[in-house]
Amino acid sequence: MADARLSCETRWAARRANPFFVLELPPDATRAEIERHGARLLAMLAADVASARTCETPLGPLARDEHSVRDALAELRDPSRRLAHEWWARGLGRGAAR
């Protein structure tokens, strides 16, 4: 039972950490928008701006750091991985607001 719960919690955490949610961008964001917004978030985190340290997702708030932003950018640079993240973001977030 504990393994099933852990697995469910792990899947939930993975869905909540969708790169589009981490970056707070909609699934139809262009590559340029993603890169620009990611760079802005990294600068804000480097400057220790409090509002950059968390993001709201359809599945609850999520802590955000430089590592999670860099991971999100890397995931969305790969077309096949981006497609999977778009699918989940559309289903869970119904198109996260810009």
Q: Which two tokens stand for residue 46?
A: 């480097």
Tens digits of per-residue pLDDT, 55-89?
998 888 999 999 999 999 999 999 999 999 999 89
Residue 36 covered by a domain: yes
- Global pTM reads 0.80
Count structural domains, the chain. Answer: 1
68 or 94: which carries more pLDDT confidence?
Answer: 68
Span 1-45, pLDDT tens digits: 455 555 766 766 667 789 999 999 999 999 999 999 999 999 999
Residue 67: inside a domain, yes or no? yes
- In a domain, residue 11? The reply is no
Q: How many CB atoms lie within 10 A of CB 85?
A: 20
**Residue (of 50, 73, 58) closest to 12 by Cα position:** 58
Its domain, for residue 45, covers 31-98
